[in-house]
């Protein structure tokens, strides 16, 4: 069962008619999907905020994501998820298979993911963002560049 949508959905559905595609979910329906999932795959190469990664982690799901942008910040050195190099889709698949085949690894990684997500708070996010704005603003760079870096780090 796959929840979400993206540019590969049509191709994947054609290749795997046995898969169940639930599409985009929100609110309570999304919470039910998180609660019943085994792991969270986040193959995005463009999403920089990564809110869904934190939602999955808060639900106790181990995450596989590219080592990029906000998702990279939350993998906590491979303890709270598996970060895969951005140019390695085969590595992404291997990481997903490794987690899917090991219930103890999923349980341990999911527990650490939940602990990590529970330590996150808006005050800390805002403070980090403000620090970056001040740092890069002092160097004469545009605030827009600092905001981009805040999302990438």
In this structure, are strands 2-3 and 21-23 parallel, antiparallel, or unpaired?
parallel
Half-sphere exposure of 68 (CA within 13 A, CB side): 15
pLDDT at 110: 95
pLDDT at 123: 87
pLDDT at 126: 85
pLDDT at 100: 95
Query: In degrees to the nearest 10, what's the CA dihedral of 70, 72, 76, 82?
Result: 130
What CATH number was assigned to the domain covering residues 37-120? Answer: 3.40.50.2000
Q: Which residues of the chain have pLDDT under 50?
A: 143, 146, 152-153
pLDDT at 46: 83
pLDDT at 148: 53
Q: Classify residue 60 as left (phi > 0), alpha (psi -120 to 50) or beta.
A: left
38/40 Cα distance (integer angstroms): 7
């Amino acid at each position: 069962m796959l929840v979400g949508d993206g540019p590969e959905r049509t191709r994947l559905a054609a290749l795997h008619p046995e898969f169940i595609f639930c599409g985009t979910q929100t609110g309570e329906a999304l919470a039910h999907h998180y609660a019943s999932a085994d792991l969270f795959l986040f193959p995005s190469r463009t999403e920089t905020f990564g809110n869904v990664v934190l939602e999955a982690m808060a639900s106790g799901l181990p995450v596989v994501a590219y080592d990029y942008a906000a998702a990279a910040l939350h993998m906590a050195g491979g303890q709270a998820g598996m970060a895969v190099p951005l140019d390695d889709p085969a590595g992404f698949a291997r990481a997903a298979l490794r987690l899917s085949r090991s219930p103890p690894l999923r349980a341990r990684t999911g527990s650490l993911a939940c602990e990590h997500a529970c330590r996150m708070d808006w005050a800390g996010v805002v403070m980090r963002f403000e620090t970056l704005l001040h740092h890069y603003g002092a160097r004469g760079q545009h605030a827009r560049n600092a905001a981009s870096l805040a999302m990438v780090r």
